[in-house]
Amino acid sequence: MAATAAPTGTSAATATPEVTAEATPDACATENLETITAGTLTIGADNPAFPPYFEPSDPAPADSIWELGEPTNGKGLEGATAYVVAEQLGFTEDQVTWVPVPFNNAIQPGPKEFDLYLSQVSYSAERTAAVDLTDGYFDLNQAVIANAGTPIAAVTTVAGLKDFKLGAPLGTTSYTYIVENIQPTQDPSVYDDLSGAFQALNAGQIDGVVVDLPTAFYATAVELDNGTIVGSLPTAGEVEHFSIVLNLGSPLTTCVNSAIATLTDNGTLAGIVDAWITNQGAPALQ
């Protein structure tokens, strides 16, 4: 058989051999993830672990170290989020361990005793000097709280809030939201702090208080005897979000962000928000 001629301008003797590129190791493959304990994902949370971010177990485990909520059961906005992120990273439920860490300790500089931390940590550029903060897993809406059984408690739309007397601490994003987005027919009342706003609400001086959603859940569970969440408000302007906290410069951060992106795109995180926020007493006001 005759030899095949080399392409014009290239001699057979000098043709460049094909080079096969060496595969780059997948840094986000489970076996390559650098965790505090090999084969285990250690997740931190504040204690008490407040609902609806973490939910109690019924019955409560006899040996539980957790107050109010039980992170280990995978219930609540952040309990559920933690486990789906862990699964996306390749960890099964029995490969996840939880440790209690005070909020202020978690966001301070220095080595951490956790790989990930979820406890309503809002992203801020200032905090990124001390820790890594991921992309958002939950957008932090404003909300309206009122006394149960009052007319404002039956409102289902933002427009329906306009004729009510609202209040918020001066200089807060909550006050700005009232003025710029609700635009009520009555001037909102302003207070030095939330305690003043709650006192005015209980005294009937105002109909509702606008606060961020975590504060709304806390206030109606702890601060107010007859408080109820009228609803969460549509996001407007720059959106504040909750981030997962990691050690500063953690090799896991990129992989966790990739997991969050996947869980956002496939609707998993939206389903968790519906289950543990929207359907737990914070309906979305349209």
Residue 108 tokens read as 């301070």
Q: Which residues contact 223 (CB under 8 A, 6 or more apart)?
A: 194, 198
Cβ(137)–Cβ(83) under 8 Å? no
In one-letter notation, the amino acid at residue 53 is Y
Q: What dihedral do alpha carbons 136, 138, 142, 145 form, nearest 10°?
A: -150
Structural domains present in the chain: 31-139+241-280 (3.40.190.10), 142-232 (3.40.190.10)
Average of pLDDT values for 173-182?
Answer: 93
Query: How does pLDDT run across 49-79, given as a tens digit for each residue?
Result: 988 899 999 998 999 999 999 999 999 999 9
How much is the pLDDT for 279?
A: 86
Rounded to the nearest integer, the mean pLDDT of the chain is: 90
6 pLDDT exceeds 60?
Answer: no
Tell which residue, 263, 274, 266, has the closest CA to residue 83.
Answer: 263
Q: Decide which of 15 and 45 is more confident.
A: 45
Q: In this predicted structure, what is the pLDDT of residue 12?
A: 38
Query: Does residue 2 have a pLDDT over 50?
Result: no
Which residues does 190 contact at the CB level (< 8 Å), separation at least 6?
Answer: 167, 168, 169, 170, 175
**pTM across the whole model:** 0.78
